[in-house]
Amino acid sequence: MNAPPIEISPSERILDAKEAASLACTAIIRSVVRNYDGIVLESESVSHDHKYGYIYRYRIVRMTSGDDGSLPSDDTKTYRNETRVVAYTHDGKKFSVATHPMFQLPTTRKD
């Protein structure tokens, strides 16, 4: 099965904060994601779709510098790496997860 899209689709019903908080699966997913470094809990969005069930979307933000080998070496620069994570469940107990890196390479070269 494909994962839900990174952005909320028109077929999804967006849940308000009160409705989302009343779901048992919300407590489960929040207890899991709060343990991961970089997850922005305030970015949570919750929706429901007949195909995927309840869908939770979060941003993950990490700061890295060029000296870790992941980006061009330049110790004076810090880079913001953003990822989106989408977790979804039909039964409220077992979750499937998809991540979407948001890093974009520059379109022009600097020679």
Domain extent, residue 93, equals 13-101
56 within a domain of the structure (yes/no): yes
- Residues 107, 16: Cα–Cα separation, whole Å: 39
Whether residue 74 is predicted with pLDDT greater than 60 in this model: the reply is no
Q: What is the pLDDT, as a whole number, of residue 108?
A: 54
Q: Is residue 22 part of a domain?
A: yes
Residue 106 lies in a domain: no
Helices (H) and strands (E) counted in the chain, each on its own, are 2, 5
Strands 96-101 and 78-89: antiparallel
CB–CB of 25/42 below 8 Å? no
pTM above 0.75, yes or no: yes
At residue 45, the pLDDT reads 96
Give the integer Cα–Cα distance in Å for 48 and 51.
Answer: 9
Could you tell me if residue 107 is inside a domain?
no
Quote the pLDDT of residue 37.
84
Find, among 78, 79, 87, the residue nearest to 59 by Cα.
Answer: 87
The confidence score (pLDDT) of residue 7 equals 92
| Number of domains making up the chain | 1
Q: What's residue 102's pLDDT? A: 66
Would you say residue 7 lies in a domain? Answer: no
Predicted confidence (pLDDT) per residue in 80-105, tens digit: 778 899 999 999 889 999 987 766 55
